[in-house]
Amino acid sequence: MTRFWWVRHGPTHINGFVGWSDAPADLSDTATLARLEASLPPEALVISSDLQRAVKTADAICGSRKRLPHDPALREMNFGDWEMKDFRQVSDTDPKRARAFWENPGDHAPPNGESWSQTAARVNGAVTRLIAEHPDRDIIVVAHVGVILTQLQQASTMPPAAAMSFVIDNLSVTRLDHLAPQWRVKGVNHKP
């Protein structure tokens, strides 16, 4: 069994779509980071998205664990023309597309961005590769809310709209176990 410990990066304090924009994380809450680091398996591997908010969070909780190279396939959804805009700006300028994107996620994408399905396929490929390269291991993946939700959807086989209804807080842990060919959801949005 391969056990995934999905950790959402530290907060960015940006009110808007932060997908591939390389915003930094606020890692000033050292007490929470210490509790998080202590709650994770000591022999786990650690990997992150290549965006600095995930990289720096992974570095902060890695401890003496083995660090794998950053993986761009673990990036947040690419919001294209919606990057760094807030919900109101997007819905005011592109109401029909914004409504379809949120109400019926799947193949609807922001202009010049990715759809839920494209993001999920990219992340699923990375997870499949991690399982093949590191079978029967604990793997801590520091990533983004959309990435974690695609994996919750994969593990539970719920539709994308249902997965998008889950809250994934910064510095929380979502645990998903893979026992081929099945997945088990062990916990969602746990705050140590």
Q: Per residue of the chain (192 residues), what is the pLDDT tens digit? A: 999 999 999 999 998 999 999 999 999 999 999 999 999 999 999 999 999 999 999 999 999 999 999 999 999 999 999 999 998 999 999 999 999 998 888 899 999 999 999 999 999 999 999 999 999 999 999 999 999 999 999 999 899 999 999 999 999 999 999 998 999 999 999 998
3-state secondary structure (DSSP) of residue 35: helix
Q: CA 47, CA 95: separation in Å to the nearest integer?
A: 37
3-state secondary structure (DSSP) of residue 5: strand
Q: What is the DSSP letter of 51?
A: S
For residue 103, what pLDDT is reported? 86
For residue 104, what pLDDT is reported? 86
For residue 66, what pLDDT is reported? 98
pTM, 2 dp: 0.95
Alpha carbon 60 to its chain's center: 17
For residue 61, what pLDDT is reported? 98
Contacts of 129 (CB under 8 A, 6+ apart): none
Strand order in the sheet with 45-48: 66-67, 45-48, 138-143, 2-8, 173-179, 182-190
Say if strands 182-190 and 66-67 run parallel, antiparallel, or are unpaired.
Answer: unpaired
- Contact present, 115 and 108 (Cβ < 8 Å): yes
SS3 annotation, 79-97 = CHHHCCCCHHHHHHHCHHH
Domains of the chain (ranges; CATH) run: 2-190 (3.40.50.1240)
